[in-house]
Amino acid sequence: MRYGNKLPPGQRRVKGFPRFGTHLSRPAPAVPADPVIEVRGAVTEEFDLPLASLSSLPRKEITADFHCVAGWTATDLRWEGVSFETLYRALIEPALPPGTSITHIKCRGLDGWEAAVKIDDILADDVLIAQHLDGHPLDSDHGAPARLVSPSQYGYISVKHLSRVELLTTAPAITEGLLLRSHPRGRVWEEERHGLLPGRAVRPFYRALIRPIRFLSSRGARDRHTSGRPRFPN
């Protein structure tokens, strides 16, 4: 969501949509021949949801900005996939024991990245499991074969290469250190950048990290392209 041409506090536009993340100095993970989303946690019986089964659900397209917690924003990205709420109501919620109250869903990607998302946030109307970006299948830089997209939260919530969702009945334990502790919700308009400090206070520190992290992320992409790992259409 964007109000006219206004960006959330502390954000600056960038050209394109860079591959970015402290863990992305490694090449993107290989995609299984028959990818699934593992459904784990507080369900009656854990199961694997074939990604191909998403084709039976209504498709949804949104145009939204992507806001990195470091302070950059890629604007007007066109995502297409399945509403997370639609998938949850149709395929996951029926597997819960009667009376179970879910508080969070922990999402995990093939690259090991995890984000625990409050149930109210992940069921918001604009949250997708996206499989296409700007009319093309997701490439490896941006989360193939499917990723979470939550435009109202900072990018660390939008887990790439989505491979697992875990249903939780209590808030997850905090495992991050003090320096780079993520805010548990990461809402962009509230500038929830940090788990302890005001968002405005950490802006200069996070912005200083953009250049070195972009370098490491681009190195991971180069290593993938020269190592014979799968590439996906842009």
As a whole number, mean pLDDT of residues 67-92 equals 97
Strands 128-133 and 136-137 turn out to be antiparallel
**Model confidence pLDDT, tens digit, residues 165-209:** 999 999 998 878 788 889 999 999 999 999 999 999 999 999 988
Write out the DSSP string of 71-113: SEEEEEEEEEEEEHHHHIIIIIGGGSPTT----EEEEEETTS-
* Inter-residue contact 152 to 35 (CB < 8 Å): no
Query: For residue 65, what are its two tokens?
Result: 């900005």
Query: For residue 108, what are its two tokens?
Result: 């995990």
What is the Cα–Cα distance from 134 to 93, expressed in whole angstroms? 30
Report in angstroms the alpha-carbon separations of 232 from 145, 159, 161, 201, 229.
9, 18, 13, 39, 10
Give the domains, in start order, of the chain with CATH numbers.
Answer: 12-17+32-227 (3.90.420.10)
pLDDT value of position 212: 80
pLDDT value of position 199: 95
What is the Cα–Cα distance from 29 to 20, expressed in whole angstroms? 15
Share of the chain above pLDDT 90, in %: 74
Query: For residue 25, what are its two tokens?
Result: 């100095």
> 175 versus 227: which is more confidently predicted?
175
Q: Which H helix or E strand runs over 203? A: helix 199-208
What is the Cα–Cα distance from 100 to 10, expressed in whole angstroms? 39
pLDDT value of position 229: 33
Share of the chain above pLDDT 70, in %: 87
Full-model pTM: 0.87
Q: Which H helix or E strand runs over 154? A: none
**Model confidence pLDDT, tens digit, residues 2-46:** 555 689 999 999 998 977 665 555 678 889 999 999 999 999 999
What is the Cα–Cα distance from 88 to 57, expressed in whole angstroms? 11
